[in-house]
Amino acid sequence: MNIKKQFTEGLVTNNPVLVQQIGMCATMAITTSLFNGVGMGLSVLIILTCCNVVISAIRKIIPGEIRLAIFVVVIAGFVTIVDLLLQAFIPALSAALGVFIPLIVVNCIIIGRAEAFCQKQPVGPCFFDGIFQGLGYTCVLVLMCVFREFVGSGRFGGGLIDIANGFRLTIDGTGGGIQLFPEEFGAAIMNLPFGGFLTLGLLLAAMQYILKKSAEKKEKAEKEVNE
Amino acid sequence: MQKILKLTVILFVVCAIVAGVLGGVNEFTKDRIAEQNRLKTEKAYSAVLVADSYEAVDFDAAAFPTVDSISKAGEAGYVVETTFSGAQGMITMAVGVDTDLKITGISIIKHAETAGLGAVAASTNDKGVAFREQFVGEDKNVAITKAGGNIEAISGATITSRTVSEAAGVAVCAVEALG
């Protein structure tokens, strides 16, 4: 298990959303502005990495029968810690992400990785697995946010970028974003859950197409070598 | 029998450790969180009715179950803090009411509305500000246009707009009942 392979797996070939197809509810619910996507993606990345490391470290003393119960306790513990720390030290970010943080407890990416990867692998690979799977998740969220925001309200970087007072990044979600065309002309339906389904469906189809093409190419190359 | 005992003990130990760690983190952060919440509440109060100090007053809690507290904001009027059911969860809101029983402003302190729809009511963007500014000068009969009032509901968030308007009306009634 090398790092480069894990990187490609997390971002492309075993992407949590587009290939494993887990953690989809949160993906559809929150991808309405770039700020939400980046915030949720990074929160998941941090919590996923912590949970992966801890679960991997205690994997030998967890009896198989009660492993799920223990995973849930560990995950809920970390989510609560991150929630409390955010509330105490970065209240603006906590106010903006407050709704999403508790959702991470039931985000099946985390329990999915614990079950499929961390209960069998040592701490090192699990740490990188957390980072790369988290990155893969964040990338999908960002893609969806950019698409939905642009089509839905003609904006880029809502909440994250503020151009009213000079170009700067806002971590408290107050930036207005860059208006690329007037909001009235946007297809507001893209901001509704329906738009989430549509975007995710398009992304999934594109991903499957790319994966299939590259598999075919590989097969063809192998055949030629054999002949 | 022995196996189930072993499982119970392990699960218990794990839960106890997690609970212990959480207790520690809570102990470490609770003062700061309380302080942050106080600042946030004060900011929300001054956004609806500016005053040097806010002093809690007694009110008829049985008649207004959704009203959490009423604070006297100097001579300017009162700030009512109310918690009510929105479209997705409970919304906590501060409503400023002046001595003529007119709303001076509303500010949403805490909510769990849908991002991009109901959450606009609490947002700092133009749409959110425009929505809240409609309440300034309204009286206890404040309502959305669908219910015969003057408040233009947020598109896609009629329920949020309706519950916010109703709660603002209740807040004025609560101040009126103070006499």
pLDDT in the model for residue B114: 78
> Is B151:B178 a contact under the CB 8 Å cutoff?
no
Q: How far A22 CA sits from the closest chain B CA (Å)?
A: 21
Identify which of A65, A69, A191 has the shortest CB distance to residue B116: A191
The yes-or-no verdict on residue A227 having pLDDT over 80 is: no
Interface test with B, best of A25, A191, A194, A199 (most B CBs within 10 A): A191
Distance between CA A201 and CA A196 in Å, rounded?
A: 8
**Domain assignment present for B150:** yes
Distance between CA A189 and CA A202 in Å, rounded?
A: 15
pLDDT in the model for residue A171: 65
Length of chain B: 179
- Looking at the 3D structure of chain B, how many domains does it have? 1
**Domain assignment present for B1:** no
The answer, for A225 touching chain B at a CB cutoff of 8 Å, is: no
Task: For residue B97, give the 3-state DSSP assignment.
Answer: strand
The yes-or-no verdict on residue A222 having pLDDT over 90 is: no
**Domain assignment present for B139:** yes
* Chain B residues within 8 A of A87 when measuring between CB atoms: 29, 33, 36
Searching chain B, which residue's CA lies closest to the CA of residue A74?
Answer: B18
The yes-or-no verdict on residue A116 having pLDDT over 80 is: yes
* Chain A residues within 8 A of B28 when measuring between CB atoms: 88
The yes-or-no verdict on residue B93 having pLDDT over 80 is: yes
* Percentage of chain B modeled with pLDDT above 70: 99
pLDDT in the model for residue A173: 62
Contact B22 A89 (CB under 8 A): no
The yes-or-no verdict on residue B116 having pLDDT over 80 is: no
Q: How far A88 CA sits from the closest chain B CA (Å)?
A: 5
The answer, for A180 touching chain B at a CB cutoff of 8 Å, is: no
* Chain A residues within 8 A of B125 when measuring between CB atoms: 176
B83 burial type by CB count under 10 A (0-12 exposed, 13-18 middle, 19+ buried) = middle
Task: For residue B75, give the 3-state DSSP assignment.
Answer: coil
Contacts of A166 (CB under 8 A, 6+ apart): none
> Is B135:B105 a contact under the CB 8 Å cutoff?
yes
Average pLDDT of the residues in A180-202: 81
Distance between CA B51 and CA B45 in Å, rounded?
A: 9
The yes-or-no verdict on residue A164 having pLDDT over 70 is: no
Q: What's the token pair of residue A144?
A: 């969806």
Distance between CA A93 and CA A43 in Å, rounded?
A: 11
Average pLDDT of the residues in B21-26: 93
pLDDT in the model for residue B24: 94
The answer, for A57 touching chain B at a CB cutoff of 8 Å, is: no
Searching chain A, which residue's CA lies closest to the CA of residue B40?
Answer: A91
Confidence of residue B126 (pLDDT cuts 50, 70, 90): confident
Q: What's the token pair of residue B38?
A: 């106080």
pTM, two decimal places: 0.73
pLDDT in the model for residue A166: 66
* Kind and range of the H or E run holding B104: strand B103-110
**Domain assignment present for B5:** no
B5 burial type by CB count under 10 A (0-12 exposed, 13-18 middle, 19+ buried) = exposed
The yes-or-no verdict on residue A75 having pLDDT over 70 is: yes
Confidence of residue B27 (pLDDT cuts 50, 70, 90): very high
The answer, for A36 touching chain B at a CB cutoff of 8 Å, is: yes
Identify which of B15, B115, B126 has the shortest CB distance to residue A32: B115
* Residue B146 DSSP label: G
pLDDT in the model for residue B15: 92
Interface test with A, best of B3, B11, B38 (most A CBs within 10 A): B11
One-letter amino acid of A69: A
* Percentage of chain A modeled with pLDDT above 90: 11
Mean pLDDT taken over chain B: 87
- Per the DSSP assignment, residues forming a β-bridge with B82 are B67, B93
Q: What's the token pair of residue B47?
A: 């956004």
Distance between CA A210 and CA A34 in Å, rounded?
A: 25
The answer, for A88 touching chain B at a CB cutoff of 8 Å, is: yes
**Domain assignment present for B107:** yes
* Percentage of chain A modeled with pLDDT above 70: 92
* Chain B residues within 8 A of A36 when measuring between CB atoms: 115
B interface with A, Cβ–Cβ < 8 A, is: 6-7, 10-11, 14-15, 18, 21-22, 25-26, 28-29, 32-33, 36, 40, 112, 115-117, 124-126, 155-156
Contact A63 B6 (CB under 8 A): yes
Which domain, by its residues, includes B107? 48-178
Mean pLDDT taken over chain A: 83
ipTM computed for the complex? 0.70
Burial A104-133 (b: 16+ CB within 10 A, else e): bbebbbbbbbbeebbbebeeebbbbbbbbb
Nearest CA to A100 out of B20, B144, B88 is that of: B88
